[in-house]
Amino acid sequence: MAVTLDPQLLDILACPAPDHAPLTPGTPEDPEADALTCTSCGRVYEVRDGIPVLLLDEAVIADESASSDVPPDAEKSTSDGA
């Protein structure tokens, strides 16, 4: 489902990282995702129940979100067992 935020709100929202760049709806992989993506650093912020969660600690770098399907522990266990 696509993000449905008031256009005026979307105009004033910005990435909380030092760059303070504008945010665009969706993710690079899924423009219909319930998320906002920074146009500068590529961080993806989840939108929960219509509320953008603009916390740097919870943001995901766009490249990391594509590879986050496999938990880090699973990658270690598959590379250790030879």
The tokens describing 6, both together, are: 């008031």
Tell me the pTM.
0.72
Which whole number is the average pLDDT over 22-27?
Answer: 94
d(CA 27, CA 25) in angstroms, rounded, equals 7
User: Would residue 64 count as lying in a domain?
Assistant: yes
CB 44 within 8 A of CB 65: yes
What amino acid occupies position 17?
A: A
Residues spanned by the domain of 12: 7-74
User: Would residue 33 count as lying in a domain?
Assistant: yes
Domain count, the chain: 1
Identify the pLDDT of residue 41: 93
Per residue in 27-56, pLDDT tens?
A: 999 999 999 999 999 999 999 998 999 999
Identify the pLDDT of residue 20: 83
The tokens describing 73, both together, are: 């522990």
d(CA 60, CA 30) in angstroms, rounded, equals 14
What percent of the chain lies above the pLDDT cut of 70? 73
